[in-house]
Structure 1
Amino acid sequence: MKYKKHVFICTNQKEGGKRCCGEEKGMVLVNAFKEAIKTRGLQMEMRAQKTGCLDACNFGPALVVYPEGTYYGHVQPEDVQEIVEQHLLQNQPVTRLVLPY
């Protein structure tokens, strides 16, 4: 595996006003995770990127961290630093945001 941690952030867009992560800060979160990883010099070990629907629309904005497969919901830009520090660096999921999948 190339990366120790891989963060996929939903940026899906739905038609007709349906709730979706892309409308709820998807790309803001992608950029925040990328910046947090880059600032710490971790871009060779960790990656954040946009993805399509994670089928967690009711919990959006949503993301998943691999290799664990930990799903997060209701993630806001102010949660990014906590997820990076606690989960990506210390392998401790941020339990208040973890989805029960």
Structure 2
Amino acid sequence: MSDTLYFRKHVFFCMNQREDGRPCCAERGAQAAQEHAKRRIKQMDMNGQGKIRINKAGCLDRCEEGPVMVVYPEGTWYTWVDQSDIDEIIDVDLVGGGVVERLKLPNT
């Protein structure tokens, strides 16, 4: 068995919709952000095995800090405000291998 990861980076966008009035990622534009990231990664031909996978996730349990996404295998958590933030995360982290410190959430 190979030690190579199936995906070089795996990104999960929280899509949770809460019914109790508490903050949730779904009402903060998570769907549009996930769709934009997926479309952009495909346009860059960076999707597929050995590359980058953009996924939807259920509750990631950080809705109060949201919207949120997490990038694996590093386990880097991000929030964002708009599409330009998503583009910065794609360019700096997913493609470049760095971290967007201004959008990074603490791991604890």
Residues of 2 paired with 1:47 and 1:21: CA distance?
20
2:96 to 86, 90, 93: 90
Q: What is the one-letter code of the residue matched to 1:56?
A: R
Q: Structure 2-normalised TM-score?
A: 0.88
Asked if the contact 1:11–1:52 (Cα under 8 Å) also holds between the matched residues in 2, the reply is yes
Paired residues, what number?
Answer: 101
Structure showing greater Rg: 2
- Tell me the residue number matched to 2:39: 35
Q: What is the one-letter code of the residue matched to 2:43?
A: T
Shift of 1:32: 0.8
Asked if the contact 1:59–1:74 (Cα under 8 Å) also holds between the matched residues in 2, the reply is no
- Tell me the residue number matched to 1:19: 23
- The alignment yields a C-alpha RMSD, in angstroms, of 1.1
- Tell me the residue number matched to 2:58: 52
Shift of 1:75: 4.3
Asked if the contact 1:8–1:64 (Cα under 8 Å) also holds between the matched residues in 2, the reply is yes
Q: Structure 1-normalised TM-score?
A: 0.94
Residue segments in structure 2 that go unaligned for 5+ positions in a row: none
Mapped pair 1:7 → 2:17: no
Q: Percent same amino acid at aligned positions?
A: 42
